[in-house]
């Protein structure tokens, strides 16, 4: 036989038509607590068929009389009855590492190196959609993962890809994708959700020429997206910029640790050259065996109480969540800045560059040093957070900064923002920029630095 707490009845009356005995009638009294009109039960003719309970849309609406009937029906707080919550507080299953025996260096292309870094970083869940010039990474994963009982899923789109990562990352697994600029654009909505729900995931974006479909040649014009535009809302992620195939492996491997340390996506930005370029790659001395973090929605007893969600309906709750994210971003900024300084100690001119342009800028530094020009290279490895702690001193001492990049000034914007926030009095800033799939050349860098030094010496 059913019983009903009137406060939990919305008065829809679906039970009325379900009852073949006519036990239930529409109410007439407005319930003062809910403002609704609950139904009225008269169970004289009730045969306990319980069809009314099936018809009731409310979990605490019509319920079978039983042990619960012993409760004070008018006290909603007590009504829940003895429903023990038996899912324990989940314990984290920590990551471990396995030592790797020495191996001869590999000769592989950048996307392959990145895929190997992911595998060694414990990634066995790869989701992706083919796009040049990143596809080889996905192709290698499609071959490697089944050999290691891992998973590669070719999704219907980049939009589906990032949401598969939301699922697998939310389950606590190390997951990643390979993509390139137009595909990365499509993933941004999902990245915003990942950040909001604090789900770790790794994105390797091999940047190509844009805007629009652009071309498949190397570019660096997604720096702004990765550093300032990861979808809607208050979003940031650590952005790593490798410069060699070796760093494609090392930084991709590192990115999984960072993603899980902060419960946040990590973006590895390469340029098209770096993705396609074959080079020498040494393997690390260990590989990671990932555990399962305590917050994961893994689908087992101990993780049953968890929720992966980016909704906070109450403004105060959402503001608090944003402040928590801010605090996390501040921790990343304080501890995760990475940079490579090359001949910066006595440099009058400091070239700032990342990815392949940093390599050729290094070539320019070598060439110029041979001519006696005091020039150095500052190479941010994290584009966000910009390594301002290391850059401050370099920038304050230099007479010129030259930003070398394959975009319209996106790296320079990051640098200028960092300088500005840090209150650094920077020297004049000039640049060497190419776009549309063209990288700056070593000769162009040399020429720009020489022009600056000649100008200073009054030669011009």
Partner 1 sequence: MPTSVFYRQFERHDHATGIKAHTTTYCPGCGHGVAQQFLAEAIDELGVQDRTVLVSPVGCSVFSYYYFDVGNTQAAHGRAPAVAIGHKTANPDSIVVCYQGDGDLASIGLAEIISAAQMGLPITIIFVNNAIYGMTGGQMAPTTLLGQNTTTSPGGRTTFAGEPLKVAEMIAGLDGPVFVERVALYDNRRRTHAKRAIKKALELQANGTGFAFIEVLSECPIHLNMTPEDAEGWVRDTMQQVFPLGVKKDATDRQYPEIPTPAFDAEATLAAMGTTTEQAERHATGFPAHLDPDDISLKLAGAGGDGAQTAAMLITKAAINEGFDSTDIPSYGPESRGGTSYADVHVAATEVLSPAAPHPHVLVAFNAPSLAKFGPTVRPGGVVIYDSSIVGEVPSSLADGVRVVGVPFAAVARDLGAVQVKNVVALGALQGATGLFPKETFLTVIRSALVGKRAVLELNEQAFARGAELASAVAAPAG
Query: What is the footprint of partner 1 within residues 117-146 (CB under 8 A)?
Result: 119-120, 122, 124-125, 127, 144, 146
Least distance from C-beta 367 to partner 1, angstroms?
9
309 or 327: whose CB is closer to partner 1?
A: 309
Using CB under 8 A, pick the residue from 63, 379, 400, 431 that binds partner 1.
63
State both tokens at 226.
């990765």
Nearer to partner 1 (CB atom), residue 101 or residue 423:
101
Q: Interface with partner 1 includes 208 (CB under 8 A)? A: no
Among 229, 279, 284, 409, binds partner 1 (CB under 8 A): 279
Per CB under 8 A, 50 contacts partner 1 = yes
Contact between 323 and partner 1 by CB under 8 A: the answer reads no
Structure tokens at 425: 């009095």
Residues 143-202 that bind partner 1 (CB under 8 A): 144, 146-151, 153, 155-157, 159-161, 163-173, 175, 189-190, 193, 197
Q: Which listed range, 219-227, 304-312, 327-335, 344-352, lies at the site for partner 1 (CB under 8 A)?
A: 304-312
Q: Which of residues 377-436 bind partner 1 (CB under 8 A)?
A: none
Q: Which of 64, 182, 229, 427 binds partner 1 (CB under 8 A)?
A: 64
Q: Which of 13, 182, 409, 427 is the binder for partner 1 (CB under 8 A)?
A: 13
Nearest to 215 by CA among 275, 131, 129, 155: 131
- Report how far residue 110's alpha carbon sits from residue 243's, in angstroms, rounded to the nearest whole number: 10
Among 30, 69, 213, 309, binds partner 1 (CB under 8 A): 309
CA gap 422, 415 in Å, rounded: 11
Residue pair 99/284 in contact (Cβ under 8 Å)? The answer is no
| Binding segment (CB under 8 A) for partner 1, from list 77-85, 254-262, 324-332, 394-402 | 77-85
Among 138, 204, 225, 277, binds partner 1 (CB under 8 A): 277
Residue from 44, 70, 101, 457 touching partner 1 (CB under 8 A): that is 101
Distance in angstroms (rounded) separating the CA atoms of residues 180 and 311: 29
Judged by CB under 8 A, the number of residues near partner 1 is 120
Contact residue for partner 1 among 74, 301, 320, 456 (CB under 8 A): 301
Per CB under 8 A, 65 contacts partner 1:
no
State the minimum distance, in angstroms, from the CB of residue 204 to partner 1: 17
Contact indicator for 416, 227 with CB cutoff of 8 Å: no
List Cβ<8 Å contacts ≥24 apart for 329-338.
329/236, 331/262, 332/236, 332/238, 332/262, 332/264, 332/385, 333/385, 336/238, 336/258, 336/382, 336/385, 337/382, 337/385, 337/386, 337/387, 337/388, 337/389, 337/390, 338/240, 338/380, 338/381, 338/382, 338/387
Q: Which stretch binds partner 1 (CB under 8 A): 311-319, 333-341, 391-399, 449-457?
A: 311-319
Q: Which residue lies nearer to partner 1 by CB, 239 or 308?
A: 308
For β-strands 349-352 and 400-405, DSSP reports them as: parallel
Dihedral through CA 118, CA 134, CA 153, CA 233, nearest 10?
Answer: 80
Query: Which residue number, 280 or 331, has a Cβ lying nearer to partner 1?
Result: 280
Distance CA 390, CA 374 (A): 19
Span 218-237, contacts to partner 1 by CB under 8 A: none
Contact letters for partner 1, residues 243-272 (x by CB under 8 A) = --x---------------------------
Mark the segment that binds partner 1 (CB under 8 A) among 98-106, 203-211, 256-264, 402-410: 98-106
Pinpoint the alpha helices (H) of 336-460: 355-370, 388-397, 410-422, 442-456
Q: How far apart are the first and last CA of the chain?
A: 99
Does 22 interact with partner 1 (rule: CB under 8 A)?
Answer: no
Q: Which residue of 273, 329, 384, 391 would you call a contact of partner 1, by CB under 8 A? A: 273
- Structure-block tokens of residue 438: 């063209």
Rounded to whole angstroms, the Cα distance separating 203 from 142 reads 16
Task: Tell me how crowded residue 78 is: count the other CB atoms within 10 A of its CB.
Answer: 11
Identify whether the C-beta of residue 304 lies closer than 8 Å to the C-beta of residue 117: no
Quick check: 447 binds partner 1 (CB under 8 A)? no
């Amino acid at each position: 036989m059913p019983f009903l707490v009137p406060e939990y009845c919305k008065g829809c009356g679906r039970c009325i038509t379900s009852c073949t005995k006519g036990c239930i009638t529409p109410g007439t009294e407005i319930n003062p607590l809910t403002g609704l009109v609950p139904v009225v039960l008269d169970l004289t003719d009730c045969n306990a068929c319980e069809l009314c309970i099936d018809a009731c849309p409310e979990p605490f609406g019509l319920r079978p009389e039983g042990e619960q009937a012993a409760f004070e029906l008018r006290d909603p707080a007590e009504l829940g009855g003895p429903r023990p919550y038996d899912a324990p507080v989940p314990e984290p299953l920590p990551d471990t590492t396995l030592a790797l025996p020495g191996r001869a260096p590999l000769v592989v292309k950048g996307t392959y190196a990145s895929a190997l870094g992911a595998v060694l970083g414990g990634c066995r869940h790869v989701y992706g959609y083919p796009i040049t010039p990143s596809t080889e990474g996905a192709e290698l994963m499609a071959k490697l993962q089944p050999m290691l009982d891992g998973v590669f899923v070719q999704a219907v789109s980049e939009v589906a890809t990032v949401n598969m990562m939301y699922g697998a990352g939310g389950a606590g697994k190390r997951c990643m994708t390979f993509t390139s600029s137009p595909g990365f654009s499509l993933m941004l909505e999902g990245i915003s959700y990942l950040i909001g729900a604090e789900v770790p995931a790794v994105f390797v974006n091999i940047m190509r020429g844009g805007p629009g479909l652009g071309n498949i040649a190397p570019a660096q014009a997604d720096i702004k997206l990765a550093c300032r535009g990861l979808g809607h809302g208050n979003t940031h992620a650590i952005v790593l910029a490798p410069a060699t195939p070796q760093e494609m492996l090392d930084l991709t491997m590192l990115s999984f640790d960072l993603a899980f340390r902060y419960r946040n996506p990590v973006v590895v930005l390469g340029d098209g050259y770096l993705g396609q370029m074959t080079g020498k790659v040494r393997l690390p001395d260990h590989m990671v065996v990932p555990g399962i973090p305590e917050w994961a929605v893994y689908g087992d007893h101990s993780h049953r109480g968890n929720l992966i969600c980016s909704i906070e309906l109450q403004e105060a709750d959402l503001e608090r969540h944003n402040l928590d994210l801010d605090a996390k971003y501040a921790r990343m900024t304080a501890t995760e800045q990475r940079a490579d300084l090359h001949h910066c100690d006595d440099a009058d001119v400091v070239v700032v560059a990342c990815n392949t342009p940093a390599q050729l800028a290094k070539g320019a530094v070598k060439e110029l040093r041979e001519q006696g020009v005091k020039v150095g290279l500052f190479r941010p490895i994290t584009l966000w957070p910009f390594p301002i702690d290391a850059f401050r001193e370099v920038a304050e001492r230099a007479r010129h900064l030259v930003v070398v990049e394959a975009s319209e000034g996106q790296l320079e914007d990051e640098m200028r923002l960092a300088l500005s926030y840090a209150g650094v009095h920077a020297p004049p800033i000039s640049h060497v920029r190419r776009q549309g799939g063209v990288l700056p050349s070593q000769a162009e860098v040399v020429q720009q630095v020489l022009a600056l030094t000649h100008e200073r010496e009054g030669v011009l």
